[in-house]
Amino acid sequence: MSTTCEQLEGAALALARSGNIKDRLAEAWRHHLALVDAAELPEALRAQFRACHAALTREPPLRGEDAVRATVRKMSNVEADEIAACVVRLFAAMAHAAALDPRPELTEQLLSGGVVGARGKLLKAVPQAIALYAAEA
């Protein structure tokens, strides 16, 4: 489950960077979301993930591109924003589910920002904000 959570975190971080939303969405898919196995998600999140997958791969590709690039090229910025928000909500729900997991090492990883991303670097999070909101909840 931590690998799935790490991939969703990586996708959310890719979407949070500067640049064109369509480019960020394609990058989040290619480097993170394509590696997520829907079967590893909690049952409640699978349909939402599959809907994002379908929304990002619905167009047939032209020569030299993949289905995601073709789909992103044809969608509006508003639609790209909505799919990006769906991905961020998936990560938030997954992180929340992992925080409820009885394994303390997984919760500690999420709260400390010590999750290692797909590229092997330590991904920085905002542990102070997470800890403050968790304490207030």
* Interval 33-59: pLDDT, tens: 999 999 988 888 899 999 999 999 999
Residue 50 lies in a domain: yes
Residue 52 per-residue DSSP state? H
Residue 47 lies in a domain: yes
The confidence band for 123, taking pLDDT boundaries of 50, 70 and 90, is: very low
Mean pLDDT taken over the chain: 78
The SS3 of residue 76 is coil
* pTM for this entry: 0.70
Residue 63 lies in a domain: yes
Q: What is the number of structural domains in the chain?
A: 1
**Is residue 45 within 8 Å of residue 90, measured between CB atoms?**
yes
Give residue 14's domain range.
2-102
- 65 CB burial (10 A radius; 0-12, 13-18, 19+): middle
**Whole-angstrom distance, CA of residue 102 vs CA of residue 106:** 9
Residue 120 lies in a domain: no
Residue 117 lies in a domain: no
pLDDT at 115 over 60: no
Q: Which long-range contacts (CB under 8 A, 24 or more apart) does 11-16 make?
A: 11/87, 11/91, 12/87, 12/88, 12/91, 13/117, 13/123, 15/84, 15/87, 15/88
Q: Residues 10-29: pLDDT tens digits?
A: 999 999 999 999 999 999 99
Residue 109 lies in a domain: no
- Both tokens of residue 102? 């009885």
Residue 137 lies in a domain: no
Residue 59 lies in a domain: yes
